[in-house]
Structure 1
């Protein structure tokens, strides 16, 4: 057995690079929103359509992606995802040339479709690539590199996209960064194609009887999975919504009074907190029950955001940045709890869970509407409601409906 565990180190190292790349790409949206808001003179609600198109792809593509992965395997699924994401990045070039907001949104949808296939392929693969009892810890550690990517993303965007705004206040400043990203994604697809990843047919190790069990079982019987989809919806919605509006909030004179480039760099602290929290969580959760850690972090975020609404000013800015640290373990922990005991439904369950990521498409526009009507800081009550549900899932929902033998 030890030799088996030892053989997984190489594949896990390759997968961490994959997690890093899609984290970097996803967090660049937080730089695109204020930039394109200025270029196309958009309202907060209109600018939030960037996140809407990006994360709607998860809802549209996730379940078909689960079927694709079930048919072609995790490795091929990862390569397909990387190729699709690269095409999306390449579409940014003609979108900028046409100066079309609609074209940008289309490119983002294609890019997100590729990342969706990556999510559906890589998350369950990491989850089953080792001992079941350490699945949450293992997924948190690999997701820590995803958080490293989301930390680097705003810094990259600040020194490329936002830094070019003064000299070139048009959409053209996004062309070169996304061309480089396309090249990196293609190179990574080639590396993974040449790398020998272990073939794991079934998470429960009983693939020969899977077809007979499907006739007497349904994925919808797993209530903890269905409730987990809602929990991921709430979590991603809250995380993306906060990240989407933090730069604009920090630019407000009564809050941070920062210029856009400096605010973009400060946003890295928000994602950096998630990175640090995931590295710590990957070790701590070997001894603490995942659902308890999830509940504690959700409560802390409710306290932080509520305090920001009451105190305002620069204190509100730092309190909201601190939310990133407690966001850290939520995605991988919810994902791992949702996949528990799914057996031959693991790939489909992963696709279903990834559909919950559409929260990143729907929650930011909702907060944007409140921001336009009530004020940007006040609108942060929306993420509070999301974290309340996550508390429920951590306390009770994660264990509801687990089949009894």
Structure 2
């Protein structure tokens, strides 16, 4: 049951799982180093992110159903344990196939974590603070995404082995498992029959839930799309060199990190629905402005602004939906994390439009996604 008082004893170990959740962003580091270490072509190297993100579509709903039976905390610990194994094994047995298998295990573990961590966090905070803490949890996740590249570089330069990062993050995952295991948490239980695949998919027949799930699909598509396409846009449209163009991704992550921190503070004072509307408006305006940027400096500032504006949309959509259907949290969580597959589907559409027309036209796919988010925010506000 959701607690009326905030207790660090319960919140901190759950928040630590969001740091572990960020480890799926190691795919970029994995691709770069695997290409260099094993002399891979681009096709083989791109099997690494596929090995991670394919599981969100395949396993999210079944995990939500199993979670309904064994509990969120137990499910979350399973996910973090698999994450630890996926990181530690390649450190000791380093080959491309083992690394690929490790990242597949990382993807499975991360899918479980994302399904379990969000509803468990809602169980340990007051209902009025759920949106605020879900935004803050994304701030914790963003910290992991930000520090990983720098740690990998440090270990490579200091010890000559970037894989030490895998060992360190694997150790953090194990620590999180132990801590959460010894933290007693009273969970909100389903009031109806236990979830099944049929009952889970049936929720898509509820208009509110279906629209919200589609919102997750598009916001993650924007997230991955900006990361995947912004560098090429800056180089081809504005003539930037490769290295500073790639730094735009860091600005985007920094914007997300700052945005989620500010969101956690602002959501203690402002309505979640109004905040969602404001976030959607800022996201749409900044993406449009980015496409028509007159200079590289202005474009880089807008990449930061896009991250800032879009940072809270995922937790806001999640919290508003679970708030409305609290007793179906496990099934809703499964559906929403399944929609994270938007990160696998939207970027190829951007790439296809870019190949057919040009890089500017490709970015208009992200505008279409943000227009839907604005519609969704208006819809949620009216509901």
The normalised TM-score by structure 2 is 0.85
The answer (yes or no) to whether the contact 2:5–2:125 under 8 Å persists in 1 is: no
Higher mean C-alpha displacement, 51-60 vs 351-360: 51-60
> Which one of the candidate residues 129, 134, 137 is aligned to 1:134?
129
Give runs of aligned pairs for residues 42-61 of structure 1, distance below 5 A.
42=42, 50-61=48-59
- The question of 1:342 aligning with 2:341 is answered no
Does the 8 Å CA contact 2:237/2:360 hold for their aligned counterparts? no
The whole-number CA distance in structure 1 between the counterparts of 2:276 and 2:218 is: 13
Deviations 1:221-272 (A, max 9, x none): 532222111110101111012123445556669443253xx66655332112
> Distance in 1 between the 2:199 and 2:24 partners?
39
Deviation readout 1:143-172 (Å, 9 max, x if unpaired): 2211222222343345557x79xxx9xxxx
The yes-or-no answer on 1:9 pairing with 2:8 is yes
Distance 1:153 1:288 in 2: 33
The answer on 1:286 being equivalent to 2:281 is no
- Supply the RMSD in Å over aligned alpha carbons: 3.5
Provide the rounded CA distance (Å) in 2 between the counterparts of 1:244 and 1:157: 20
1:28 Cα deviation (Å)?
Answer: 2.7
User: Contact (CA 8 Å) 1:51, 1:361: kept in 2 or not?
Assistant: no
Match of 1:322 in 2: 305
Extract unaligned runs of 5+ from structure 1.
Answer: 401-405
TM-superposed CA distance for 1:47, in Å, is: 6.3
In the TM superposition, residue 116 of structure 1 has moved relative to its aligned partner by: 1.1
Counterpart among 124, 149, 164 of residue 176 in structure 1: 164
Give, in whole Å, the separation in 2 of the partners of 1:365 and 1:36.
Answer: 22
Quote the residue 2:184 is aligned against: 197
Map 1:6-405 onto structure 2 (within 5 A). Answer: 6=5, 8-23=7-22, 25-33=23-31, 39-42=39-42, 50-90=48-88, 92-93=90-91, 97-98=95-96, 104-159=99-154, 175-194=163-182, 196-202=183-189, 210-211=192-193, 219-247=203-231, 254-259=238-243, 267-311=249-293, 313-314=295-296, 315-376=298-359, 378-396=361-379
Say if 2:237 and 2:359, in contact at 8 Å, map to a contact too.
Answer: no
Deviations 1:259-301 (A, max 9, x none): 3xx6665533211211111111112123322222222222222
Residues 40 and 335 (structure 1), Cα distance of their counterparts in 2 relative to 1, 3 Å cut:
same
- The structure 1 segments of at least 4 consecutive aligned residues displaced by more than 6 Å after TM superposition are 212-217
Q: Output the CA distance in 1 between the equivalents of 2:361 and 2:153.
A: 26
Structure 1, residues 121-157: CA drift from partner, whole Å, max 9, x if none? 1101112323323321221122221122222234334
User: In 2, are the aligned partners of 1:96 and 1:175 still within 8 Å (CA)?
Assistant: no
Deviation, structure 1 residue 199: 1.8
Distance 2:361 2:151 in 1: 29
- In structure 2, how many angstroms separate the alpha carbons of the residues matched to 1:223 and 1:385? 20
> SS of the residue aligned with 2:275?
helix
